[in-house]
């Protein structure tokens, strides 16, 4: 952008910034060497000298804020958050990764494991298997809590490869069986010699009723994501264990993170600073690996390049790599337009995850307000 002295600028209406400042405020400039103007200007008086008020106005935010869902299925979703500050979009992302609770296997009681996979490793692998259940139906389990039907899920895994079968047996995550009644393993009692003192031996969990009597689970039993390889068994090897899941946060361990990943990117904006015609246009179209540019026929055998799909730009900077091209093409990012992607692990559908994240942020804000007042 050519530099113009301030006094040469045309008179501007109040409440509007000069064009280049406006650009700098709203766009990230992705130059060849480094991105510039990446930061957001929050200070309300940042442009006071020009008579522009930079404070955030709620009604304006309400007016401008938009959410556009681009893609949505069971596992992932892509949507646009328009008119929001990066800090808030980032807060959603951070909360999604680490603060939306899920259920994950935390304790593994190994009765027998003769596979080559070591017990700790096996437990670690089991922990990372996503459990398809709504975590909102469960309570957190604190250290002194006794596991019950409200705060834990129990799975059983008992796989055996018969001796002499001659082949390996793969243990999959779908071999895990849900035990709605809780653990089947009896706690080691103080005096095992006394069998008739208690009618029912105490187990590792104390369920008062079966989980499958709950309306949420009666029709759809709790399962885990199928098809994940847990271990392999040689002939004669056996795994027998119980896995106890509880509710937790991704902060504590990544296994409780409800998303495989959640991220956003700012909306790409590709601007042709000059008219790019004929050979240059073809060259430009050829440069882009994701076909951002198109060629438009101007008639009379002349062609020029247009930006057809700026959203597809991956910022490979190929179009401005060669010297001279930076003056022709400008790559920018819109600072308040976020293309947000959530890849769920399966516990909750992605759209629910996002609303959960919003709720958590809301809670946090409320807590802050109450703490401060």
270 binds, among other proteins, ligand SF4, none (CB under 5 to 8 A by kind): ligand SF4
CB-side exposure of 169: number of CA atoms within 13 Å?
A: 21
Among 333, 336, 346, 347, binds other proteins (CB under 8 A): 333
Secondary structure letter of residue 277 according to DSSP? B
Tokens of 356: 């959960």
Answer whether 37's CB lies under 8 Å from 27's CB: yes
Q: Which is closer to ligand SF4, CB of 294 or CB of 351? A: 294
Helix (H, G, I), strand (E, B) or coil at 135: helix
Q: Is 309 in the site for ligand SF4 (CB under 6 A)?
A: no
344 binds, among other proteins, ligand SF4, none (CB under 5 to 8 A by kind): none
Smallest CA-to-CA distance from 169 within 115, 130, 120, 119 is with 115
Q: Hey, how many other C-beta atoms are within 10 angstroms of the C-beta on 273? A: 12
Tokens of 190: 């103080």
319 binds, among other proteins, ligand SF4, none (CB under 5 to 8 A by kind): ligand SF4
Q: Which is closer to ligand SF4, CB of 174 or CB of 317? A: 317
Tokens of 138: 């469960």
Helix (H, G, I), strand (E, B) or coil at 140: coil
Number of residues interacting with other proteins: please give it, by CB under 8 A. Answer: 50
353 binds, among other proteins, ligand SF4, none (CB under 5 to 8 A by kind): none
Q: How far is the CB of 30 from other proteins (least distance, A)?
A: 7
Q: Say how far apart CA 49 and CA 140 lie, in whole Å.
A: 53
Helix (H, G, I), strand (E, B) or coil at 298: strand
Answer whether 79's CB lies under 8 Å from 340's CB: yes
Q: Between 40 and 79, how does the x/- string for binding to other proteins read (CB under 8 A)? A: x---------------------------------------
Q: Hey, how many other C-beta atoms are within 10 angstroms of the C-beta on 66? A: 11
Q: How far is the CB of 66 from ligand SF4 (least distance, A)?
A: 24
Q: Which is closer to ligand SF4, CB of 35 or CB of 235? A: 35
Q: Which is closer to ligand SF4, CB of 37 or CB of 247? A: 37
35 binds, among ligand SF4, other proteins, none (CB under 5 to 8 A by kind): other proteins
Specify whether the backbone of 324 is left (phi greater than 0), alpha (psi in -120 to 50) or beta.
left
Q: Hey, how many other C-beta atoms are within 10 angstroms of the C-beta on 290? A: 12
Footprint on this chain of other proteins (rule: CB under 8 A): 28, 30, 34-36, 38-40, 86-87, 89-91, 93-94, 97-98, 110, 113, 116, 118-121, 124, 128, 250-251, 253-255, 257, 261-266, 289-290, 314-318, 321, 333, 335, 341, 343
- Residues making contact with ligand SF4 (CB under 6 A): 270, 287-288, 290, 292, 313-319, 331
């Amino acid at each position: 952008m050519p530099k113009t002295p301030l006094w040469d600028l045309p008179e501007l209406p109040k409440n509007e910034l000069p064009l280049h400042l406006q650009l700098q405020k709203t766009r990230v400039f992705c130059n060849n060497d480094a991105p510039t103007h990446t930061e957001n200007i929050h200070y309300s008086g940042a442009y006071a000298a020009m008579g522009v008020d930079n404070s955030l106005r709620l009604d304006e935010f309400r007016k401008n804020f938009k959410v556009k869902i681009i893609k949505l299925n069971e596992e992932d979703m892509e949507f646009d958050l328009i008119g929001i500050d990066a800090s808030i979009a980032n807060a959603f992302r951070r909360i999604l990764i680490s603060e939306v609770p899920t259920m994950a296997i935390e304790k593994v009681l190994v009765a027998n494991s003769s596979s080559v996979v070591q017990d700790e490793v096996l437990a670690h692998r089991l922990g990372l298997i996503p459990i398809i259940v709504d975590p909102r139906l469960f309570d957190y389990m604190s250290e002194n809590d006794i596991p019950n039907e409200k705060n834990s899920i129990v799975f059983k895994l008992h796989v055996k490869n018969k001796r002499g079968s001659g082949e390996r047996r793969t243990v999959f995550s779908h071999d895990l069986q849900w035990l709605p009644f809780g653990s089947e393993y009896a706690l080691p009692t103080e005096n095992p010699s006394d069998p008739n003192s208690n009618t029912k031996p105490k187990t590792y969990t104390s369920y008062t009723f079966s989980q499958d009597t709950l309306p949420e689970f009666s029709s759809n039993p709790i399962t885990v994501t199928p098809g994940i390889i847990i271990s392999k068994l040689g002939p004669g090897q056996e795994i027998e264990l119980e896995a106890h899941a509880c509710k937790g946060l991704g902060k504590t361990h990544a296994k409780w993170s409800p998303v495989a990943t959640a991220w956003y990117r700012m909306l790409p904006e590709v601007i042709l600073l000059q008219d790019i015609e004929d050979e240059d246009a073809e060259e430009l179209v050829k440069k882009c690996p994701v076909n951002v540019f198109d060629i438009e026929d101007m008639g009379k055998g002349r062609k020029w390049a247009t930006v057809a799909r700026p959203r597809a730009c991956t910022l490979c900077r190929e179009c401005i790599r060669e010297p001279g091209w930076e003056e022709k093409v400008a790559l920018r990012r819109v600072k308040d337009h976020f293309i947000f992607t959530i890849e769920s692990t399966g516990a909750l559908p992605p759209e629910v995850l996002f609303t959960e994240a919003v709720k958590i942020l809301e809670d946090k804000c409320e807590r802050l307000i109450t703490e401060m007042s």
